[in-house]
């Protein structure tokens, strides 16, 4: 497994919709996404941008980031 590989894009499909998720920005230290952009195939002009405000990898809980 190459730890330098980073996910950039994901497509989720079901019988009624397709969602494209772009990981447009990642944290250099952890590789976790800092910005996610979601677009529905049925509404391509409407994009939801999710910014990750905090990345926690040293804590006792398995919650690496907060939205």
2 domain residue, yes or no = no
Look at residue 3 and tell me if it is in a domain: no
Pull the structure tokens for residue 61. 């809980």
4: Cβ contacts below 8 Å, ≥ 6 apart: none
The total number of structural domains in the chain stands at 1
pTM: 0.67
Evaluate whether residue 35 is within a structural domain: yes
Query: Does the pLDDT at position 1 exceed 60?
Result: no
Task: Evaluate whether residue 31 is within a structural domain.
Answer: yes
**pLDDT, tens digit, for every residue of 16-43?**
999 999 998 888 877 788 899 999 999 9
Distance separating alpha carbons of residues 38 and 4, to the nearest angstrom: 24
> Does residue 30 fall inside a structural domain?
yes
Domain extent at residue 42: 9-66
Does residue 41 sit within a domain?
A: yes
Entry field: residues in the chain:
67
């Amino acid at each position: 497994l190459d730890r330098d590989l980073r996910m950039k894009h994901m497509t989720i499909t079901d019988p009624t919709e397709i969602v494209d998720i772009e990981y447009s920005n990642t944290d250099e230290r952890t590789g976790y996404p800092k910005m996610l952009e979601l677009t529905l195939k049925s509404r391509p002009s409407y994009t939801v941008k999710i910014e990750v405000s905090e990345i926690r990898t040293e804590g006792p809980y398995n919650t690496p980031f907060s939205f």
